[in-house]
Amino acid sequence: MAERGPDLRSGGEPEGAVEIHERQEAVGRDLRTEEMVFNMGPQHPATHGVLRVAVRTDGEHVRALQPHVGNIHRCAEKIGESLPYYQWIPYLDRMDYLAAICNEHVGCMAIERLGGIEVPERAEYIRVIVAEVQRILSHLMAIGVYGLDLGAFTPFLHQFRERERGMDLLDHISGGRLLYHYIRIGGVKRDLSQDWLDELDAWTSEVERRMPEYNTLLLHNRVFQERTFRVGIIDRDTGVRWGVTGPGLRAAGVDWDCRRDAPYSIYDRFDFEVPYGASDIGGVLGDCFQRHWIRVREIEESLKIIRQAREQMPEGPVMGRVPKGFKPPAGEVYIRGENPRGELACYMVSAGKSDKAWRARCRGPSFSNIACITEIAEGQLIADLVAIIGSLDIVLGEVDR
């Protein structure tokens, strides 16, 4: 064997290997490493918007980092107190532009409670159906783009096929492709037709049929798993301390979902599971893989909710009585709802005798979710930083508002 050289297949080491290793170590000892600061973003494809992260690196490792936000600040809160209530709703769409319906839902609920407006039963069901359609669309986007971040282009294109069809659904009822302004104060803009509901059924079964396919492409993909296992761990304590919500917190093992535990709208009428992180899924509790897994599972649960809502939905009007020149009495309200990215909360203060809010405040879930990367990305590799930001699934429109 000796004259044929080392057998590499059996793991045999080439001659002189020990020497080489020793020399390499010697180089490592003498090599002076230097810290370097560079900007990731604001125009970086993996930052999902206009986020600038100043990263201090040592070789391939991140020593410290500081996200800089506010690049697309559009004064949503200032606008909220400068415009009448009903005119503020379209601006809510533009905060989290991938979950516009969910934003409208929470915003409208806050204003309705402020003014004591009742929403008809059918409108509540329609709101839940479109909000869950939106959640599926948002999660499809999140999952697909996460693959893209890690170098898997194919799942992204596959998922965009279903996403496009789902967006057509919302387009049909609202006239908008991404920003809908469909949920209005007191109800929804227009009723759902039978054709639309049939198309909804066809779409939900298509998504259900495709999910295993997507999971083969990404979730069960060995390369994907290697990239995401044990990367960017947010444990329970860190997540709660930083105010992380949504899939990020559930991946850390916190069994909490606003829709089930603090039900708003009519979510208490549906039977669905809340997936949360566990050690037997793969990876470790709260890593990038588990956040991805939660999103996949949530799509399945959203499909369940849509089916149940579809069955229970009564006939009736879709718009309640909203007084002209709506002026809610003085008071305040705090509503939170489960968005695809976490808990969106709306704090409205009315001083009374005015059609404008005294203070319109929104808590964007991405705002709190992204804040915690200063802590969790420390000591990780630069390549993993992309994996971490992608797995948090932030929308910068909502961070900057």
Partner 1 sequence: MSESTDTPAAPPADPVTERALAVLQAAIPDGVVAYELTGGHPWIQVRAEDLRAACWLLRDHADTKLDCCHLISGVDWPDAGEGGELEVVYHLCSFELKPEPGYGQRALKNDPWVALKVRVPRDPGEVPTVMDIWTGADWHERETWDLVGVRFTGRRELRRILLPDDWPGHPLRKDWEYPASYHGVPIIPPEGY
DSSP 232: S
Q: 209: closest CA among 110, 281, 299?
A: 299
359: left (phi over 0), alpha (psi -120 to 50) or beta: beta
Examine residue 261 and tell whether it contacts partner 1 (CB under 8 A). Answer: yes
**Which region among 186-194, 215-223, 288-296, 368-376 touches partner 1 (by CB under 8 A)?**
368-376
Q: Which is nearer to partner 1, 158 or 401 (CB)?
A: 401
Tell me the closest approach of the beta carbon of residue 255 to partner 1, in angstroms: 8
Examine residue 345 and tell whether it contacts partner 1 (CB under 8 A). Answer: yes
Of residues 61-80, those binding partner 1 (CB under 8 A): 69-70, 73, 75, 77-78
Q: 83: closest CA among 355, 292, 298?
A: 355
Examine residue 359 and tell whether it contacts partner 1 (CB under 8 A). Answer: yes
Which one of residues 141, 367, 384, 388 is an interface residue with partner 1 (CB under 8 A)?
367
Examine residue 257 and tell whether it contacts partner 1 (CB under 8 A). Answer: no
Q: Which residue has the tokens 């899939």?
A: 247
Examine residue 368 and tell whether it contacts partner 1 (CB under 8 A). Answer: yes
How many residues belong to the site for partner 1 (CB under 8 A)?
46
Distance CA 301, CA 296 (A): 9
* CA atoms 194, 195, 196, 202: torsion sign: positive
Compute the half-sphere exposure of residue 253: CA atoms within 13 Å on the CB side of its CA.
15
Helix (H) or strand (E) segment spanning residue 111: helix 100-115
Distance CA 273, CA 142 (A): 20
DSSP 233: -
Examine residue 378 and tell whether it contacts partner 1 (CB under 8 A). Answer: no
Q: Are 310 and 200 in contact (CB under 8 A)?
A: yes
Stretch 171-210: interaction string toward partner 1, x if CB under 8 A: ----------------------------------------
Examine residue 278 and tell whether it contacts partner 1 (CB under 8 A). Answer: no
Which one of residues 262, 285, 313, 319 is an interface residue with partner 1 (CB under 8 A)?
262
Tell me the closest approach of the beta carbon of residue 306 to partner 1, in angstroms: 20
**Which region among 139-147, 156-164, 178-186, 353-361 touches partner 1 (by CB under 8 A)?**
353-361
370-387 CB burial, b ≥16 within 10 A, e <16 = bebbeebbeebebebbbb
Examine residue 20 and tell whether it contacts partner 1 (CB under 8 A). Answer: no
Distance CA 190, CA 319 (A): 8
Which residues of this protein are in contact with partner 1, per CB under 8 A? 69-70, 73, 75, 77-78, 81-82, 113, 240-244, 249, 254, 256, 258, 261-266, 268, 331-336, 343, 345, 347, 349, 358-359, 361, 363, 367-368, 371-372, 375, 400-401
